[in-house]
Structure 1
Amino acid sequence: MRDSAVGVDDVTAAFDTRLTELVARRKEHSRAFSTPYAQLWNALERMALGGKKVRPRLLLDAYRALGGTDERAAVDAACAIELLHVALVIHDDVIDRDLVRRGEMNITGRFASEALLRGASRREAHAWGEASSLLAGDLMLTLAHSVLAGIDVDESRRRTVLDIFDETVFESAAGEHHDVWLSLQLESATSEDVLAMVDQKTAAYSFQAPLTLAAVLAGAPSRVVDELTVIARRIGVIYQLRDDVLGVFGDERETGKSTFGDLREGKETLLISYARSDAAWATVAPYFGDDEMGASEAESLRRVIEESGALLFVESLISERCDEVHRLIRESHLPTAMIHQLVDLVSTCDARTS
């Protein structure tokens, strides 16, 4: 146990050390198996130790703001949340058939390329790459659960933590499944459909899980946990709506990704759902979801989306949602430090450019 006077930098360092230790231990164990399996753990280590660490930082900051004092428990929960994120990202890339992540080949791309160089057919190489990714995601998911199950807290609290994790995975899978269904374009997606998918796919694991885990581990009263649950879901939707806007209208130099990746993929966002109701959509509909779509077709799609009023609609909704969540924060029974953190988080989600 450590008191709340422990510095933020100390806790961050403890998190980095613990995450490195968890993955390194399994990477070392993998050497007793096949060479490709050891290579898989090398790839997992790069993924787990890279990235922005948004979710674990959110959990650790909230834990401190809520008066938590058991640094080790919070650090382990933060590690589990990051490992869950890695698992979902890996599986998401398989579902989206992506070969690149964070500007470099992802696990599917890396293992498929290696197999091609060794003489495998393109079909065999891609199957090998996807199999490697699926197993890698499973390994990260299992490790996340194992870390949470081993947290040294009383049994009642551990059960609550594991229940939160279980529901988070369950709901995130529901959101991902719904997202894939919407992308098939077999029926018209309403704004309500898209918002429900976003709420399940993004808000549940990126915001609700870190905040509620922090609250439970800090011993916050149930009223605070309930308030954080509602607020977190609202913030998660704001985050994803902004992400969808940046995915089509953002600055590629800041976002680090193409502004027509979502359009090529046929991602059913609120922008698209709204734009479909405009008569001009029929002129660009064939481009949407086309793997061969070029820059000129993407620009035509962007123009129709903006002229339909979809961009203005989503921006207005983001603004309304920000006002709503600010009201919920003001009216909550959260400690002052937590209120300040959430206000800053809302502003960051709204104004981010990458």
Structure 2
Amino acid sequence: MTVLTESSETQFLDAVDVVLTGFFARGRAGTSGLPATVGQLWDALASSATGGKRIRPRLLLSVVDGYGGGPAGTSDGAGWSPEDPAVVTAAALELLHTALVTHDDVIDHDFVRRGKPNVAGIYRRRAAADGFDAAAANERGQAAAIIAGDVALAAAYRLVASTRARQLPVLLDLMDAAVHSAAAGELLDVEYSGHLRVPSAEVVLQTALLKTAIYSFDVPLQAGAVLAGAPAEERQLLCRVGQDIGTAYQLVDDLLGVFGHESATGKTTTGDLTAIKHTLLLSHAVRQPGWPSVAPLLTGAGSRTDVETLRDFLVASGARAYVQTMAREYAERARDAVAGSSLPVALRADLGVLIDAAVDRVR
């Protein structure tokens, strides 16, 4: 039996949504008297923040609840308030995520996320309607997305500061760790993509850790531990567990980016190959016999036939099976660390569910 009941999670996530809705409403209201496009940028940013899995709030809540630290100042199950430091911190982590994926879409030249136009896509469409050619419309859409991402990034820090929690300095340090690691991972992703000099598996895994695992899994778990007053050694354990879960999650993401169903993922299954993204799939494939015969397709993988041939090679060469195995190994390492720990029983159970959800998914 876990502490994290469905009703507690729903109340918490609803409170997080109240914080985010309030933030976007205040930002929108502040554009009164300005040209309409300024307010519409806030609308586009708000739209991009909806529809996600809310992974980061769920992780933070699992730790806070696991240590028995329900809503601040209550002991009667009165429910989560939008002013609760845990709720506000979780909302800040979601805003940080929104900022990072908004900028990531610019870097990747993506104009759709979760099956709908992202900020860049919305403003590209507006520019095209205003008569700009395709290249100019792309540039204008991406410029708007950079601005929107900057707004969300600054707001994430402001939200954490607004909690005035006694643990604020530590929470801000965690925000820094999230941003700095994600920036490093994003840079490595850019440096290693777009050409055939595919890095080693070790480098690819380091990139996944920096770009995704730390800010989306490690930091939310640590933030929950800080807010719950968990012992330092257990916070460090949650750090390591979060990094392993996050790496497994990213490996599954890479698999879905090539072999998933676009209707489920909301993303193209050709983009990683056409952009020559150096995932673990590719890192393994280039070192297998037969790669030289399909490598030329990668530099010109514009046709569906080329992509299908490359996809078939990833299966036949064992690359797909290899990445599936690696994802399971990272998940099992996290599961073993949790099972052999002194973490609260309820938290161990919740983390087991979260580990399963990270790897057994279609989106």
TM-score (norm. length: structure 1) = 0.93
Match of 1:303 among 305, 308, 312: 312
Of residues 325, 329, 345, the one that matches 1:336 is: 345
Residue 141 (1) aligns with residue 153 (2): yes
CA contact under 8 A between 1:231 and 1:329: conserved in structure 2? yes
1:30 aligns with 2:40: no
Q: What is the aligned partner in structure 2 of residue 101 from structure 1?
A: 113
Q: One-letter code of the match for 2:312?
A: R
User: Aligned residue for 1:206?
Assistant: 216
Compare 321-330 and 129-138 and name the one that shifted more: 321-330
Contact 1:20 1:49 in 2 (8 A): no
Aligned residue for 1:41? 42
Confirm or deny: 8 A CA contact 2:315 2:321 kept in the other structure.
yes
Three-state SS of the structure 1 residue aligned to 2:198 is: coil
CA distance in 2, matches of 1:30, 1:259: 38
Once residues 304 and 124 of structure 2 are traced to their aligned partners in structure 1, the CA distance between those partners, rounded to angstroms, is 27
Distance between the aligned counterparts of 2:299 and 2:55, measured in 1?
30
Question: 1:289/1:160 Cα in 2 relative to 1: closer, same or farther (>3 Å)?
Answer: farther
* TM-aligned CA deviation for residue 188 of structure 1: 3.4
Partners of 2:353 and 2:12 in 1: CA distance? 20
Residue 259 in structure 1 maps to residue 259 in structure 2:
no
Report 1:262-341 matches (<5 A). 262-288=272-298, 290=300, 293-341=302-350
* Equivalent position amino acid for 1:158 in 2: L
Distance change >3 Å, CA 8–CA 258, structure 1 → 2: closer
- The letter of the residue matching 2:108 is D
Say which SS state the counterpart of residue 288 (structure 1) adopts: helix
- Structure-1 separation of matches of 2:266 and 2:135: 29
Name the residue aligned to 1:132: 144
Q: Which moved more, 1:173-182 or 1:52-61?
A: 52-61
Once the two structures are TM-superposed, the CA of residue 186 in structure 1 deviates from its matched residue by: 6.3
Partner of 2:85: 73
Q: Give the TM-score taking structure 2 as reference length.
A: 0.91
The more displaced of 233-242 and 248-257 is 248-257
Q: How many residues align structurally? A: 348
Match of 2:76? none
Counterpart amino acid of 1:85?
A: H
CA RMSD in angstroms, aligned pairs only: 1.9
- Contact 1:19 1:49 (C-alpha < 8 Å) held by counterparts: no
Q: Could you say which structure has the greater relative contact order, defined with CA pairs below 8 angstroms and 6 or more residues apart?
A: 2
Structure 2 partner of 1:229: 239
Which among 203, 206, 219 is matched to residue 229 of structure 2?
A: 219
Q: Which amino acid letter does the alignment assign opposite residue 96 of structure 1?
A: D
The answer to whether the 8 A contact 1:190-1:273 is kept is: yes
User: Given residue 27 of structure 2, which amino acid in structure 1 is its aligned partner?
Assistant: R
The answer to whether structure 1 residue 51 and structure 2 residue 60 are counterparts is no
Give 5+ residue unaligned stretches, structure 2. 73-79
After superposition, the C-alpha distances for 1:221-275 in whole angstroms (9 at most, x for unaligned) are 1111101000000000110111111221223343333322211121111010000
Secondary structure of 2:253's counterpart equals helix
Unaligned runs of at least 5 residues, structure 1: none
- Give the direction of change, closer, same or farther, for the CA distance of 1:73–1:40 in structure 2 (3 Å limit): same
Q: State whether residues 225 and 235 of structure 2, in contact with CA within 8 Å, keep that contact through their aligned partners in structure 1.
A: yes
